[in-house]
Amino acid sequence: MRSLTTDVLVIGGGITGAGVAWDASLRGLDVILVERLDLAEGTSGRFHGLLHSGARYVVKDPPAARECIAESRILKRIAAVCVEDTGGLFVTTPWDDPEYADRFASACGQTGVDCEEIPAAQALLQEPRLNPSITRAFRAPDANIDIWKAVWAMARGAEERGARVLPYHEVTAIRRDGDQVTGAHVRDVRGDEGLEIEAQVTVNASGAWAGRIATLAGIEGVRVFPGRGIMIAMNHRLVNTVINRCQMPSDGDILVPVRTVSVIGTTDEHTDDPDDQTVAQSEVDQMLDEGEKLVPGFRQARALRVWTGVRPLFEDAKAGGTATRDVTRAHALLDHRTRDGVGGFVTITGGKATTYRLMAEETVDAVCDILGRSVPCSTATQPLPGSEPGENYRLGERLARKEQHLRDEQVICECELVSRDQLEQTLRRSGSANLDDIRRRLRLGMGPCQGGFCIYRAIGIMHAQGGVSAEQADASLLEFLQERWKGVWPILHGDQLRQMRFDEWVFHGILDVDRLPTGPLAGGSDPEVAAR
């Protein structure tokens, strides 16, 4: 069995784990990060896309609001290219308590969240599809964030500083030597091989799975409530600003413009299983009905895809009950040396994607404390790789860039404007034959056609590049189509049904996908990592 040693082992490759790995490597620590799936395939890659200004929490959870405004200001600078600074509107619809708006405005003032009331007519001028019956409107500095870009930028940045990032490596046991955690036993999921990792400090950054990892270390009582929520992507940017209902946080009250689509969400249901990806038809209907309240005619837009994420909600000793919207959104850092008498082991869970940097900073401070090192955190000022110019993403930017090279650059995905060159580079770099991995890196197949036009081009290019046989390429295509199908079938009606029938004709008529000769998928781990 292979074995590796390191200063810090990070378990979980979501935004929190990637943030910890990036922060620790900037402080000169040797880091290994392990993730049982692809990076950001847990809750991070299944979230709503909102970089919270904190305005949503000003009345209900003022400390969370303060953290969000401070962190979102930092992220707009250091993760500039991942953020589209759309701005946000909080609007009072006929279904909202009219008294809430005044409490909201005064709580924004108390928590330092910038907010400005504008006439409802001005909000309607800015967002013509909004419900014309809104009575009040407030501007707030909400934005959207591309989490995959941020996670991969931090992982690559950490690797450049010597970190080892191992996707598809699952922790199956935590090593203990008396009252000390000394690392973990890991299984390479794709190669089905064991790997022993010895670490001075082990960080449990496994989000909604944190209680399970703590149990592997023999520590009970780390209670993380999984709060399941669904979101639906609609095929247009129905709005260009993040729209929130001006009310106490509730289900289906936020519409986020994300790249070429807009996403309505979410619900919040208690579940016992962090891997629960149930989508109830009643939840889909509820989201579409709530969307209708914000944007009349919402149901006539085409629903592209529905997905589920599971919030890691840490329950502290004081909290009771199982109403997950009432459990705090704050994060929890547990040093198990002081909490449970188990050294070399730290858990970081809860919080939000928006506050990941702060969570990572506090975690690595605790790690440095355990290691007896004193190195200050620099992540509040050090840009993520790729964000050095400090310019936020703009929707029109890719099209403008593309138009300059239209004659010499082949476009593979028209919806997301992915070029052949980008695709070939990503295929080479990832070494993965899994089109779903490529989707997360490039957003390939995530636009209105959901892969109807680009996926068979991409698979052809993957095969032409070498490395995968025709049978493996076929298997990869089928796996991708099955994954897409899971997100599509709960919303199949109207125009979306027509689009899917069309895609089906493409795949059956041109490729006869049902009868493709397939072979086992090629290994998907990063060649740079596999070489280590």
List residues near ligand FAD by CB under 6 A.
11-17, 34-37, 41-44, 47-50, 52, 170-171, 205-209, 213, 229, 231, 266, 309-312, 351-354
For ligand FAD, the closer of residues 283 and 474 by Cβ is 283
User: How many angstroms separate the Cα of 260 from the Cα of each of 84, 414, 446, 474, 490?
Assistant: 12, 11, 9, 29, 21
Q: How far is the CB of 419 from ligand FAD (least distance, A)?
A: 29
Q: How far is the CB of 198 from ligand FAD (least distance, A)?
A: 17
Question: Which residues have C-beta within 8 Å of that of residue 108, sequence separation ≥ 6?
Answer: 55, 58, 114, 115, 138, 140
Beta strands in 395-447 (DSSP E): 411-413, 418-419
Please, what's the b/e burial string for 178-203 (b: 16 or more CB within 10 A of its CB; e: otherwise)? Answer: eeebbbbbbbbbbeeeebbbbbbbbb
For ligand FAD, the closer of residues 96 and 142 by Cβ is 142
Element (H, E) at 3: strand 2-11
For ligand FAD, the closer of residues 89 and 475 by Cβ is 89
Q: How far is the CB of 334 from ligand FAD (least distance, A)?
A: 13
Q: How far is the CB of 156 from ligand FAD (least distance, A)?
A: 17
For ligand FAD, the closer of residues 16 and 247 by Cβ is 16
DSSP 61-93: -HHHHHHHHHHHHHHHHHTGGGEE---EEEEE-
Name the residue type at position 217: A
Contact 284, 233 (CB under 8 A): no
Q: How far is the CB of 409 from ligand FAD (least distance, A)?
A: 33
**Cα 486 to chain centroid, rounded:** 18
Q: How far is the CB of 128 from ligand FAD (least distance, A)?
A: 24
Q: How far is the CB of 420 from ligand FAD (least distance, A)?
A: 30
For ligand FAD, the closer of residues 14 and 157 by Cβ is 14
Task: Give the residue among 81, 107, 180, 123 at the shortest CA–CA distance from 385.
Answer: 81
For ligand FAD, the closer of residues 144 and 260 by Cβ is 144
For ligand FAD, the closer of residues 203 and 208 by Cβ is 208
The closest residue (CB) to ligand FAD is 14
For ligand FAD, the closer of residues 210 and 433 by Cβ is 210
Q: How far is the CB of 293 from ligand FAD (least distance, A)?
A: 19
Q: Which residue has the tokens 């413009």?
A: 257
Task: Give the residue among 72, 56, 74, 51 at the shortest CA–CA distance from 115.
Answer: 56
Contact 189, 199 (CB under 8 A): no
Q: How far is the CB of 21 from ligand FAD (least distance, A)?
A: 11
Q: How far is the CB of 351 from ligand FAD (least distance, A)?
A: 5
Contact 147, 39 (CB under 8 A): no
For ligand FAD, the closer of residues 312 and 524 by Cβ is 312
For ligand FAD, the closer of residues 364 and 468 by Cβ is 364
Give the Cα separation of 334 and 153 in Å (integer).
27
Give the Cα separation of 394 and 397 in Å (integer).
5
Q: Which two tokens stand for residue 124?
A: 């309607």
Q: How far is the CB of 449 from ligand FAD (least distance, A)?
A: 25
Compute the C-alpha angle 425/468/439, nearest 5°. 50
For ligand FAD, the closer of residues 157 and 351 by Cβ is 351
DSSP 210-225: HHHHHHHTT-----EE
Task: Give the residue among 12, 57, 487 at the shortest CA–CA distance from 230.
Answer: 487
For ligand FAD, the closer of residues 189 and 513 by Cβ is 189
Q: How far is the CB of 527 from ligand FAD (least distance, A)?
A: 21
Q: Which two tokens stand for residue 272?
A: 């016992």
The torsion angles phi and psi of 53, rounded to 5 degrees, stand at: -80, -15
